Amino acid sequence: MDEKTMVNDVLSEVKANLTSYQTAIIETENMQLRQTLQQIRNNDESFQYELFKTAQAKGYCKFAKPATIMEIQNVKDELQ
């Protein structure tokens, strides 16, 4: 397996984990457990961003072109 594939796999896995942490956090009543999950989530978010920057620098990620001001305004209008 090449580095690009491994990096993208890890990014996908961390993204899935972050979603799971968020679900667990909002469903947890115990404040100590909730704080622990939040700390783990925050650490994973930091890790994900650092790995994302590495992937971006190496050209492993393809991005959509930035939205125009008009496109952004259209979405805002639809959501309000």
Q: In 3-state terms, the chain is what percent helix, strand and coil (to 5)?
A: 80, 0, 20
Q: What is the pLDDT of residues 11-68, one digit of tens each?
A: 999 999 999 999 999 999 999 999 999 999 999 999 999 999 999 999 998 777 889 9
Residue 79 identity (one-letter amino acid) = L
Tokens 């783990």 correspond to 40
pTM above 0.85, yes or no: no
Q: Is 40 helix (H, G, I), strand (E, B) or coil?
A: helix
Summarised one tens digit per residue, pLDDT across range 24-36 is 999 999 999 999 9
Question: Amino acid identity, residue 4?
Answer: K
The CA–CA distances, whole Å, from 22 to 18, 25, 37 equal 6, 5, 8
Q: What's the rounded Cα separation, in Å, for the pair 28 and 11?
A: 26
